[in-house]
Amino acid sequence: MADPVVTDPATVTSKKKRSPRKKFKFPDGWIARGFTFEVEWPDDHQVASSIRSQFGGRRFAYNWALAQVKADMDARKTDPSHASVQWNLYALRKRFNAEKPTIAPWWSENSKEAYSTGIADLCVALKNWSDSKAGKRKGKKVGFPKFRSKRKDRARVRFSTGPMRIDPDRRTVTLPVVGALRSKENTRRIERLVRVGKARVLNATLRERWGRLFVSFSCIVENHQYPAPAKGGRAGVDLGMRVLATIVDSDGDITEVPNPAPLRATLTERKRVGRQLSGRIPGSRGHDAAKAKLASLDRRCVHLRKQASHQLTTMLADTYSEVVVEDLDLAAMKKSMGRRAFRRSVSDAALGQIRPQLTYKMAWRGTTLTIADRWFASSKLHHGCGCRLIEPKKLAKQLVCVVTGEIVDRDINAARNLRDWPDTAGQDSSGAVGAVAPPASESSDGQDIGLSDAVGGSVRPEPRRRPHPLRPEPTREPREGVQHE
C-alpha cells in the first residue's frame, strides 16, 4: 500500500498551516477521521487553570469579533460607505492582533490559537447564518450568532500548529501550551496508524464537557481495505423508538435491533436527583453534588446512544451492499409532537446520528446508502398489496390490511417498503402511469408476502404534497416515521 501520495505529505502540511478549516485535497484513498479521548485533568493547579484560561480566551475573542461585526452592521445602516471589517478569519484576526494590547492586556497568557479558534468559530457561525438566509443551507434555519456567556459556552480550544503528539506509551497525548495529558483510555487506535505513517494529525481540539476534559484529533487516515459486505444485497431499515431499527434484506430476512433506551433507564434516577437538586441551596456542597450527578447521568446517556448508533451503523455497513433509510426530519418531528415524553424518546433513540454515520461508513466501503423520499409513506403503504393500511389507533404497532384483513407489523412493513424503494414509491408518485413492473433483481421478493406480483401497479397514490424546495413543511408525513411510542 505504498502509495506515492502517502509518502509525500508536503501538500497537506503547507495547506494546514494556512487554515485548518480550509478544505484541502486529500491524498488518494485517504479519509478524514476524528479520534476522541477523555483525558485526566492535570493535577497541577496552574496547568488546570491555564487550560480554563484558554477556554476563556477563545470565548473572549468570539465575543469581541461578534461585537465588531455588529458595530459594523449598525454603522453601515447610517453610513453605507462605512468600511467594515471582512467576515473572515484573517481580517478579524488581524484587527484583533492590532487591538489586543488595549482590549486584552492579558493576551499573552493564552495561546494565540485560543483567540484564533474563537474568531474562526464566529466566522463559521456567520457563514451558516448567511447561507441559511440565502437558502443555500439545508435544514433548520440558523440564527444570527449570539454573545456567549461562560455558562452557555462550549468550552474548547483548537490547536492547529505546534507539537501535537500521541505519545508511544499510548497513554499520553501532548498538546501545545498545555503539555502532556494523561488519557483515560489506550490511544492505540490512532497511535499505531500515526507511527506507521497511515495517519496524520491535522489539528487537536481540547474541550470540557460535563466537567471532564476531552481531546479530539482530526486526522487524515489511509482508508483501509474493507472486506466485501458479509451478506450483500439491499436492506431497508426502519428506524424507530420501539426498536432502534427493523431491517429487512433482499432475502426477506428480518432483523430487529433493540433500542437500549438509555434515557428511560436512567430517567427514574434523573428524576430523583433533579428533585434533590431543586431542594438544595445553590452554592452548597449538596447542590454541587446533585449537579455533578445529573451531569454524569447525562454523560452516560450520550455515550450509550452513541455506542448504540455506532454499533448499528457499522453492522449495516459491514453486512449489506446497499442500505435504504428514510429521510427523517427530526427537527420537524420533535416540533410536531406535543408531548414531552415523546420528544424525549425521539432524541433518546438518537436517530439523528444514524444517517450521518451511515453516510461516511458506507462511503469508506464504497457501498451505497439510499435515502428514501421524506414524503414516501413507508409505514402506511401495505407492501406487496398496495392498500393503505388501517390504524386501529394512532401510532399502533399492528396495522390492518384493507383488502384481506390481515394484521401487519408496522415496522417490518415499513422496512420492506424502504428496501424496495423507489419501486414501491414509483407507483405512489407516478399515479397515472399504471402498472410498474417489479425489477428483475427484486422479483424473488414476492416470497415474503406472496402477493406482490398480482398487485404490482395497483398502489393507490396518496395525494402527495411536494415540499417547497427551500421551505419544506414537514408536518404530515414525518409523523409516519414516528410511528413509535
Applying CB under 5 A, which residues contact Zn ion?
382, 385, 387, 401, 403
Q: Give me the least distance between CB of 400 and Zn ion, in Å please.
A: 9
Closest to 157 (Cα-Cα) out of 53, 7, 239, 28 = 53
Q: Catalytic pick from 121, 329, 348, 411?
A: 411
Q: Give me the least distance between CB of 387 and Zn ion, in Å please.
A: 3
The most distant pair of C-alpha atoms in the chain lies apart, rounded to whole Å, by: 80
Q: Nearest-CB residue to Zn ion?
A: 385
CA distance 11 to 129: 31
Helices (H), 320-447: 330-336, 340-348, 351-365, 410-419, 423-430
Residue type for 194, please?
V
In the three-class reduction of DSSP (H, G, I as helix; E, B as strand; rest coil), residue 36 is classed as strand
Give the length of the chain.
485
CB contact burial 19-49 (16+ within 10 A = b; e otherwise) = ebeeeeeebeebeebebebebebbeeeeeee
Query: For residues 243 and 261, is the Cβ–Cβ distance under 8 A?
Result: no
C-beta closer to Zn ion: residue 100 or 382: 382
C-beta closer to Zn ion: residue 461 or 467: 461
CA distance 185 to 297: 20
Q: Catalytic pick from 113, 238, 373, 477?
A: 238
C-beta closer to Zn ion: residue 93 or 382: 382
C-beta closer to Zn ion: residue 330 or 381: 381
326 tagged catalytic: yes
CB contact burial 333-363 (16+ within 10 A = b; e otherwise) = bbebbeeeebeebbbbbbbbbbbebbeebbe
C-beta closer to Zn ion: residue 119 or 401: 401
Q: Which residues pair with 326 in a beta bridge?
A: 372
327 tagged catalytic: no
CA distance 485 to 383: 22
C-beta closer to Zn ion: residue 47 or 396: 396
Query: For residues 5 and 27, is the Cβ–Cβ distance under 8 A?
Result: yes
Q: Which residues pair with 205 in a beta bridge?
A: 158, 216
In the three-class reduction of DSSP (H, G, I as helix; E, B as strand; rest coil), residue 157 is classed as strand
Retrieve residue 448's grid coordinates. Answer: 415474503
Active site (catalytic) residues: 238, 326, 411
